């Protein structure tokens, strides 16, 4: 079975696809470690915003 490299599906600002290697080639979400880290930061920030607005 040939080794397949699955690349990250995230697009950069200019529409170029990220060339990073997906963390899990079999997962529905094809994303590299760098963008996975960015996604975690986004989720964390979104939760904090939701908590602040929820307490208003
Ligand atoms: Zn990426």
**25: CA distance to ligand 1 center in Å?**
13
* pLDDT tens digit sequence for 34-48: 999 999 999 999 999
Q: Residue 56 pLDDT more than 60?
A: no
Beta-ladder partners of 2: none
Cα–Cα distances (Å) from 29 to 9, 13, 25, 55, in that order, read 8, 19, 8, 33
Query: Model-level pTM?
Result: 0.73
Q: Residue 3 pLDDT more than 90?
A: no
Question: Cβ atoms within 10 A of the Cβ of 8, count?
Answer: 20
**38: CA distance to ligand 1 center in Å?**
9
Provide CB contacts within 8 A for 50, sequence distance 6+. Answer: none
**2: CA distance to ligand 1 center in Å?**
23
**37: CA distance to ligand 1 center in Å?**
10
What residue ranges in the chain does DSSP mark as E strands?
none
């Amino acid at each position: 079975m040939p080794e397949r490299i699955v690349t990250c599906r995230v697009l950069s600002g200019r529409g170029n696809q990220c060339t990073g290697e997906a963390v899990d080639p079999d997962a529905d979400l094809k994303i590299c470690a760098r963008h996975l880290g960015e996604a975690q930061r986004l989720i964390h920030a979104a939760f904090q915003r939701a908590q602040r607005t929820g307490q208003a």
